[in-house]
Structure 1
Amino acid sequence: MNRSPLFIIFLTVFIDLLGFGIVLPLLPRYGEHFQATGLTLGLLMASFSAMQFLFAPLWGRLSDRIGRRPVLLVGLIGSAVFYFLFARVTQGGNTGPIYGLSPLMWLFVTRIGAGIAGATIPTAQAYIADVTDAANRGKGMAIIGAAFGVGFTFGPLIGAPFVPDDPAAGPSAAPGYVAAALSAIAFLWAFAMLPESLKRGAGLSRRAHWFDRASLQAAVARPYIGPILFAMFLTTFAFAQFETTLSLLTDRLGMSDRGNFLVFAYIGLILALSQGLLIRRLIPRLGEFWMGLAGVSLMTVGLLCLGWASGQHSLGLLLVVLPIAVVGFSATTPSLQALLSLNSGADEQGGILGVGQSMSALARILGPALALPLQNWSLPLPYWVGAGLMAVSCGLVFTLYGAARRPGRVPAG
């Protein structure tokens, strides 16, 4: 396994995700400042994932044709542009229309654009598939999760000082400018350091299309691919419910906005440590199947514990049980991604991984839509429902016994 490209892709994704980690915790309060209603705010928060759902297969299949490097570079510069626009809109405040659109509509534009630019994560996964062998695929895929974890740890920490202490103050534009600068730095780093990983002709062994529905439907019908994709959907759906309701949960438990930033940083730290230090070492020893099964089991238990903690209205208990669900998610994601990659052809990596990313994006659209009404009904209910979904995911992962057919992995079933 060539470690230099893995380090470069890790650093590229990490720097870009710092910006995402800065903006995401601020988005609900910025939306409220621009007079978004509850439904409109939900649509605003879902727009990013909606664009990922639509564009991830497109970017992935395009990268199978023209290479990973140009697609990744376009995504990075796009993120920088739309984070900069995000900052400009927030700096203008509620002063009236900007080029004929209200500030709230411009906020939608920035999130839609950032979602399109950020839909290149499956291309980064395909890059890893290009530079790793089968034995190290799961270990390599964990790098993306580690980049997410580290980005989510330091992103909120960087953004927290820019959050106004006065609840009545308007939003600061500084976090948007910082996020734009970080994505621009990631672009310059990748432009200078990131080599192309796709071997000449590797993505052209068959006639390729940007979004070949027939071939993707055929792939889903193949053994293992369908259950893997459905398990990815349920896992992400349950975790999206958790993410969406967490800030409201901490608010009901008496935590300030600044404290809520620290909770998100705490979650990011757990993700980074578990995937960067623990999961990457365990996957080569246990195999993708057993690591994935352990992950979905931990998520089931963790969400049950979160429901219990929220029912007890205990902040201390919440902080104690949070790592169970988070570590479970960090183990599940790279394991299922690796199984998906290992059961796809060499000329399908970008496209099939793009479908997996779209399934996750669809779950991130639908998960919050269900979670918020459930939480209004009962504080612990989203976590009980999430635990039930993860129990189904456990069954799906169990059917994957035999999906990794290599020495030292699960034997053929």
Structure 2
Amino acid sequence: MSVEQKRFLHSSVFFVLLASVFTVSMGYGIVLPVLPSFLERLPTSAGRISVPWHTGLLTGTYMLALFLFAPLWGFISDHAGRRNVVLLGLAGFVGAVLWFALARQLAYVYAARALAGVFAAAVLPVVLAWVGDACREQERAAAFAWLSAASALGFLFGPALGGWLASVERIGGIAALALPFYATAAIGGGMWFAAYLWLPVNPMRRAREDTSQPDIPGLFGLLALSLLVMFGIGSFEVGLALQGQQMLNLRPREIGWMFAECSLIMILVQIFVLPPLLKRVRSRLLAPAFLAMAAGMAMLPFAPAYPLLIIMVGLVAGASGVLIPALAYLVSLAAGTRQGAALGKQTAAASLGQAAGSAVAGWLFAVLIGQSFWVTAALLAFAAVAAFPVAEALKAGQHGY
């Protein structure tokens, strides 16, 4: 690793990029423990079936917007520069969060959530592409692990903050449920100013040592696996929130702590376990991680009490904490110098999977409680089998996978 790259990984620029990912992830996670209760107070969404349905659809709407716009933002950043796209994404995300907090009609809630996804898509893949530009292959695994940990930390802080603020007893009704969104907007506004001050206009780009092979065999398989793992995450998030509220009678604060535990395990795995694991086995870790995630999902319906549910959540979190950054790292290696476009596609595939998982989980929970976990477990088991030929294709396409 060059001196320039060492300085980048320890610079204020890398810190701001980490903080940007944290902010957007927090804005997504802060909704999860609050959303079912928020919907119950809207006049057009009363009833046990409609709340799970709209919970899944609203979560899926955010991810669908990411799917539609992530490739576009990645392409634009390849040509117009990373900094401008990141600043626009942060500003738009703050505005969308404020609109969500003020919305009192279901149509406006959907519109605000979709807009938040549109602008989040201008941050996540572009930050990954920025780091892909600045880091050589040897250090990219660690950098991507830190970015994934920042995302998990935001997801940890978001639900915990959302559950706590929504439980403020001196503010009644929907007013208390809107407090988490105002807090997110304030943090996002501060993050925009930090990005404006410290992100350089012309970020450095790594040497073009791999221009002869911008795409390799196995890239499509990696995108498909990204879709499947995020389908599992989307189904897991919505199913967990609904099971906690409607079957275990948990309060938003307790649901928030479950998501916080999930994120904490992901952070620990991504910082301490994943980087050395990727250097040793790389694509061979995909199949075991998918299998572990499938096992955790299949056992979630059999967790009748809060302590046992925490154990199952930990298993799913550990496996997904390996898979998410590992897939982004492998896609980045396959991308050559086209980091923005390739990682935009990967973010789009992951977002489509999470949108579908969220919507399917909400629908299945409303119709047949518990079925969403088993459907997701079956798909993840299929992904574990599919990971073997993908790993072989990567090895055949480029040495070292």
TM-score normalised per structure 1: 0.83
Change (3 A) 1:295 1:77: same
Change (3 A) 1:45 1:316: same
- 1:325 counterpart = 2:316: yes
One-letter code aligned to 2:383: S
Partner of 1:82: 96
> 1:232-275: per-residue Cα shift (whole Å, max 9, x none)?
11111122111111011122123222211111111121122221
- 1:369 counterpart = 2:355: no
Give distance in 2, aligned partners of 1:75 and 1:387.
34
The answer to whether the Cα contact below 8 Å between 1:36 and 1:104 also exists between their aligned partners in 2 is yes
- 1:19 counterpart = 2:27: yes
The answer to whether the Cα contact below 8 Å between 2:57 and 2:362 also exists between their aligned partners in 1 is no
Which one of the candidate residues 256, 259, 262 is aligned to 2:257?
Answer: 262
- 1:161 counterpart = 2:164: yes
The answer to whether the Cα contact below 8 Å between 1:23 and 1:179 also exists between their aligned partners in 2 is no
Partner of 1:244: 238
Partner of 1:178: 183
Deviation at 1:330, TM superposition (A): 0.8
Give distance in 1, aligned partners of 2:368 and 2:55.
21
Change (3 A) 1:198 1:47: farther
Deviation at 1:363, TM superposition (A): 1.2
Partner of 2:339: 349
The answer to whether the Cα contact below 8 Å between 1:21 and 1:156 also exists between their aligned partners in 2 is yes
Give distance in 2, aligned partners of 1:171 and 1:375.
28
Partner of 1:338: 329
Gaps of at least 5 residues in structure 1 are 94-102, 206-217
Give distance in 1, aligned partners of 2:281 and 2:125.
22
Partner of 1:275: 270
Deviation at 1:354, TM superposition (A): 0.9
> 1:332-358: per-residue Cα shift (whole Å, max 9, x none)?
111111111111231x21112111111
- 1:151 counterpart = 2:154: yes
Deviation at 1:42, TM superposition (A): 4.1
- Identity of matched residues, %: 28
Partner of 2:288: 294
TM-score normalised per structure 2: 0.86
Partner of 2:108: 106
**TM-align CA RMSD:** 2.7
Partner of 1:140: 143
Which one of the candidate residues 13, 16, 35 is aligned to 2:43?
Answer: 35
One-letter code aligned to 1:282: L
The answer to whether the Cα contact below 8 Å between 1:13 and 1:186 also exists between their aligned partners in 2 is no
Deviation at 1:105, TM superposition (A): 2.6
- 1:67 counterpart = 2:72: no
Give distance in 1, aligned partners of 2:87 and 2:19.
14
Which one of the candidate residues 228, 231, 240 is aligned to 1:234?
Answer: 228
Change (3 A) 1:150 1:41: closer
Deviation at 1:168, TM superposition (A): 7.1
> 1:301-350: per-residue Cα shift (whole Å, max 9, x none)?
222332443xxx2322111122111110010111111111111231x211
Partner of 1:360: 350
Bigger drift between 24-33 and 385-394 goes to 24-33
Gaps of at least 5 residues in structure 2 are none
- 1:387 counterpart = 2:377: yes
